[in-house]
Structure 1
Amino acid sequence: MRFALSNLLTSGAAIGLMLAAGPAMATEIMVQGDVCSGAVQHRPDAGVAYQPGVDAYGRKVAPADLSGGSAIRIPDTIAIDITVELQKRYGLPSDSRLFKPEARIGTLEVDRDGAMRFNGEPVSRDEALAVQAACRAALGLPPLPLPKPAK
């Protein structure tokens, strides 16, 4: 590893080398091995480490979970009804009280691990990717990069 002399002037060793070498010294010093690892190692101040219940100024603060947690239980499976909006698709009038503006196609179930089933049948990898892309588009999110093909 080579360092310019100006980078090492603050080091006692560099100053000693300059005094011993005199004016004939080269403008670069060669340093080998792990000599500089201690000089560049990060050593945080003692007071900057996270301390629970204390703010950045050392004052006591209340814990974040004041009420003891959330009462909402997230289900293991989320069911999504897949429908077609007939009024929008076919331009049907909506002034009839008997008109239901959508037709139920089926139910998509999504497990916590991301596994999907449509009407109880497992969804293929390509179908799952198509569902994810449609959901991202509906939410106004950018598309995900295409995955590498399975081998």
Structure 2
Amino acid sequence: MTTVIVFTIAILVVIAGFFLLDIEKIALNYWAFGSLLFSLAVSLLATLALVAPKENKGSVFYTGGLSSAIWIYEIMVVISVFFTNKFVEHMYRFVFLEIAINALFFISALVIYNVSARLQYNDAKTYKNLQSGEYNKPKRGGF
């Protein structure tokens, strides 16, 4: 619930800031505004997926990796929004940059999820083998 409240406040601050501050209403600024709102919504969903109960929720790689990816993603989007003035003449470059940032985040989130699930599976398999005494049995030719 706290996560939803924090992100709701952040979204409301961004919306209020865009409409109440003296920001020139051009297409590039609308793209920046939209990309910032989209990144906040994506971060909210990723954070909710992070705190939701999962079979691999105990995996340090999953929690640490996904939370780091969320922070890096948000920082990259905010930095790109601050430099919108550099893209005034070539708006398509800004759109491409935002698409690239989103694609990199989605790819890294999928990789983190898949690797953490694989690590969790391997850890569970190793633990099961330890409990069954599999590693206490001598190998062929051993003592």
TM-score range relative to shorter protein: under 0.3
- Rg larger for: 1
TM-score by length of 2: 0.23
Q: Which one has a larger percent helix, Structure 1 or Structure 2?
A: 2
Give the structure with the larger strand fraction.
1
Compute the TM-score of the two structures, normalised by the length of structure 1.
Answer: 0.22
Structure number with greater CO (CA < 8 Å, separation at least 6) is 2
